[in-house]
Structure 1
Amino acid sequence: MVHWYESSIDRQLREARERGDFENLSGAGKPLAGYGEEYDEDWWVKDWLRREGGGAAVIPASLAVRRAAEDLPHTVAGLRTEQAVRDHVAELNERIEKARRGLIDGPPVVLPAFDADEVVARWRETRTR
C-alpha cells in the first residue's frame, strides 16, 4: 500500500482541476507574452505602463516635485479650506526637502520651501475675486 502526501496547495489545485476551473481560460493554447524573446530586466515596468497608463509619461520623483511646485497655485485654487492649503504646502515642502537631500530618485532639485502663510494669502486673494 502506497501513501502519498498531498499538500494543501496540491489539494486545492487538484480540486479546482476536477471542478473544471481551468477550462476555457482566456489565454488557453496561446504562448506566454514575451516567450522566446530576449530577456529585458525592465519587463515589469513596461508591463505596468502598458496595463496602467497606456504609455502615460512617467517622470523621476524629483521632477514630479518640480512639477508640483510649478502647479502649486493651480492646485491650491481647487482646495476648499485654509487648513487643506496648509496641509498641501507642508506635504510639498517635505517632498522638496527629500529631493534637495537626494533621498528620492531623479536629478538634483534646488527649490526653496514654500511659505505656507504666503500661499494662503494668495489663495484668499483668488477666492475673493
Structure 2
Amino acid sequence: MDSWEATVEARIRAAQEQGEFDNLPGAGKPIPGRGEPYDESWWIKSFLEREKLPTDLLLPTPLQLRRRVEQVPDEVRDLPTEESVRAFVADLNAAIISWLRMPTGPRVTVRPVNADDVVRRWRAERRPAATPAPEPAPPAPPRGRPRRAWRLPWRRRAA
C-alpha cells in the first residue's frame, strides 16, 4: 500500500513541476458555498442548475402529472391545429393512465383530461376578439295617451 501511495504522490509532484495544474478554471477564486450551512442535496441542485433542468423533475410522478394537467391551457395555446391539441391531450392521458395502472409515490388524485373541453377552450382563445355589437337605439316614446300598465286588484271597473 505504501508503494502505491508513493507512486501517486510522485506523479502528482511531476505534474505540478510540468505546470499541468496551472490555469485551471476557478484558480484563485473562493470555493463556492463555503461558509454556508451544509445542504444534503447540494449535488442535485448543482446538477439541475448546471444542466439547466427544471426543478419539477424532482417531484414524484403524480405531482408531475398534476402540474402538467394544470399547465394544459398554456401548453396547447400555440398549437396550430385541433389534431395537434388532441394528440397532446392523448399523450398526457396515456401517461396518466399508465401511472394509474401502477401508482407510485404519494396518493394524489390525478384524472385524465377531457380532450373535448380542452379543444373547446383552445377554440375560444383562438377566436379574434369580437367587436362589440352596436348598442340598440332607445325605444321610441309611445304615441297618444299612455296606458296604465297596472291596476289595483281591489278596484273594479264600472261597466
TM-score by length of structure 2 reads: 0.48
Structure with larger Rg: 2
| Richer in helix (by share) | 1
| Separation in structure 1 between the aligned mates of residue 111 and residue 78 of structure 2, nearest angstrom | 23
Q: How does 1:83-122 map to 2 (within 5 A)?
A: 83-103=83-103, 106-122=105-121
- The percentage of aligned residue pairs carrying the same residue is 45
What amino acid is aligned across from residue 51 of structure 1 in structure 2?
R
Per-residue deviation, residues 50-72 of structure 1 (Å, max 9, x unmatched): 42459956422321210111121
Aligned-residue offset at 1:100:
2.2
Cα 1:54/1:96, change in 2 over 3 Å? closer
Contact 2:76 2:122 in 1 (8 A): yes
What amino acid is aligned across from residue 117 of structure 2 in structure 1?
E
Per-residue deviation, residues 27-56 of structure 1 (Å, max 9, x unmatched): 5699x989xxxxx98564233134245995
| Separation in structure 2 between the aligned mates of residue 91 and residue 51 of structure 1, nearest angstrom | 29
What amino acid is aligned across from residue 100 of structure 1 in structure 2?
L
- Which position in structure 2 is the counterpart of 1:68? 68
| Separation in structure 2 between the aligned mates of residue 88 and residue 99 of structure 1, nearest angstrom | 17
| Separation in structure 2 between the aligned mates of residue 29 and residue 78 of structure 1, nearest angstrom | 48
Larger mean Cα displacement after TM superposition, 64-73 or 47-56: 47-56
Two-structure CA RMSD over aligned residues (Å) = 3.8
Cα 1:122/1:52, change in 2 over 3 Å? same
TM-score by length of structure 1 reads: 0.56
Aligned-residue offset at 1:83:
1.8
Structure 2 unaligned segments of length 5 or more: list them. Answer: 1-18, 34-38, 129-159
Give the number of equivalent residue pairs.
Answer: 108
Structure 1 unaligned segments of length 5 or more: list them. Answer: 1-19, 35-39
Larger relative contact order, structure 1 or 2 (CA cutoff 8 Å, min sep 6): 1
What amino acid is aligned across from residue 89 of structure 1 in structure 2?
V
